[in-house]
Chains A and B, each alone.
Chain A
Amino acid sequence: MSTNCVIVEDLQVAAEYTRKCCEKSGMLEVKGHFTNVPDALQFLNSTTIDILFLDVEMPGATGFDLLDQLGYSPRVILTTSKPEYAYNAFEYKVVDFLKKPFTYQRFLEALQRAIAQEDNGGAVNGESDNHIFIKSDGKLVRLNNEDILYIESMGDYVKFVTADKKYITHNTIKALEEKVNKACFMKVHRSYIINLTKIDDIRENDLFIKGTEIPISKAHKQDVLRRLNII
Chain B
Amino acid sequence: MTNQELRLKSVVLRKNILKYIYIAKAGHTGGSLSCIDILNVLYNKVLNVDPKDFKNPNRDRYIQSKGHCVEALFVTLADRGFFPESDLETLCAYQSHYIGHPTKKVHGVEQNTGALGHGLSICVGEAIAAKLDDKRHRVFTLLGDGELPEGSNWEAFLSASHYKLDNLYAILDNNKQQITGNNKEVMNTDSVRDKLQSFGWAVKEVDGHNLEQLEEALKNGPFEEGKPNFIIAHTIKGKGVSFMEGSLKWHHGVPTEEQYALAQSELNTAEALIH
Q: Is A bound to B?
A: no
